A and B are shown apart, each in its own frame.
Chain A
């Protein structure tokens, strides 16, 4: 039985690493929200493993609470996610820089 518990623990650890990769890389905001949701479920799986390994049935209400409340964060972020396509911020920044540069050039030429 200890072999089984170790194997499950290692599988969950590898799954966590995969999810963290998406959390780091995910090009959009919602990808990161999905991976945090998956992380929450992996934590729930870890608690199940704990209950299985040590026969502590007092941890089971935690699962109930996680199921009930864990989805609220993803729903909130999804509700208020921005409406701009992915590269809009980068374009806006370069646009602003360009305008500043032009303004400086103009004022510089007026003074000079």
Chain B
């Protein structure tokens, strides 16, 4: 049973992809062609045996469509901005090299995130630290450190979107837990801010008094 499930999850996708490519190249999806394509792909995967491709064990259609839409939109908008930058002759360009730490520890998703980040214009993956899952991106056209930070946060958001769409179950659950925690933290800080604003105001007043008297910073 486990072998069959293994085969369906990991052995079938390459086979189906080969059949699709064969039929697409011949531009002919009739039954004889598909059957012959199936025969050829079984032969090819049997003779030229490659190490097994371990895809993940969940796939969420809604999140994948959301990611696809965001990706296509990102490619369009950012290509337009890059084209505008290319045609602005004479303007100096500032870039930056940012280190982004990813949550995932698996080969497949580091690669998927690097591809997504390289295709959405604005960044380029220059190096990968595999042991700590850190991507080093070269970002074009950023002027301030805030812009760089913003870019880093958006890169992590893209990774979260990919994990939601097709990540391994345990990484997906870790992501969900993280979301809940940040929501709780946020609620806590909002409460504290409302309660503690009064205290902060008092602290500020005390500090200004000290400065006026002539005390120096510790």
User: Which residues of A are in contact with B by a Cβ distance under 8 Å?
Assistant: 57, 60-61, 64
A-B pairs with beta carbons under 8 Å apart, 5 shown: A57-B27, A60-B27, A61-B25, A64-B21, A64-B25
Top 5 nearest A-B pairs (CB, nearest first) are A61-B25, A64-B25, A57-B27, A60-B27, A64-B21
Shortest beta-carbon distance from A74 to chain B in Å: 14
Q: Mark B1-35, 1 if CB is under 8 A from A, else 0.
A: 00000000000000000000100010100000000
Residues of B contacting A61 in the complex (Cβ-Cβ under 8 angstroms): 25
Interface residues of B, Cβ cutoff 8 Å to A: 21, 25, 27
Cβ of A67 to closest chain B Cβ, rounded Å: 12
Residues of B within 8 A of A60 (CB): 27
Residues of A within 8 A of B25 (CB): 61, 64
Name the CB-closest residue of B to A58: B27
B79 to chain A, nearest CB (A): 14
- In the complex, what distance in Å separates the CA atom of A64 from the CA atom of B27? 13
Interface of B is mostly: helix
Name the distance in Å between A41's Cβ and chain B's nearest Cβ. 14
Residue of B nearest to A60 (CB): B27
Residues of A within 8 A of B27 (CB): 57, 60
Question: For residue A57, which residues in chain B have a CB less than 8 angstroms away from its CB?
Answer: 27
**A57 vs B25: C-alpha distance when bound (angstroms):** 11
A64 to B25: give the CA distance in the assembly, Å.
8
A109 to B164, CA, bound (A): 80
Q: How far is the CB of A31 from chain B (nearest CB, A)?
A: 15
Contacts of B21 in A (CB 8 A): 64
Chain A residue nearest to B27 in the complex (CB): A57
Chain B, Cβ-Cβ closest to A57:
B27
Once bound together, how far apart are the Cα atoms of A57 and B26, in whole Å? 11
A19 to B25, CA, bound (A): 31
Give min CB distance, A16 to chain B, whole Å: 16
Bound-state CA distance A64–B22 (Å) is 12
Bound CA span A64–B24, Å:
10
B28 to nearest A CB, angstroms? 12
**Cα of A41 to Cα of B155 in the assembled complex, Å:** 27
Residue of B nearest to A61 (CB): B25
B185 to chain A, nearest CB (A): 44
Query: Min CB distance, A21 to chain B, in Å?
Result: 14
CA distance A57 to B24 in the complex (A): 12
Min CB–CB distance A38 → chain B (angstroms)? 12
Nearest CB of A to B21, in Å:
8
Closest chain B CB from A71 CB (angstroms): 13
Nearest CB on B from A19, distance (A): 13
**Complex alpha-carbon distance, A73 and B154, angstroms:** 32
Q: Give complex CA distance A85, B36 in Å.
A: 54
Chain B residues in 8 Å Cβ range of A64: 21, 25
A60 to chain B, nearest CB (A): 8
Nearest A residue to B26 via CB reads A61
Least Cβ distance of A88 to chain B in Å? Answer: 22
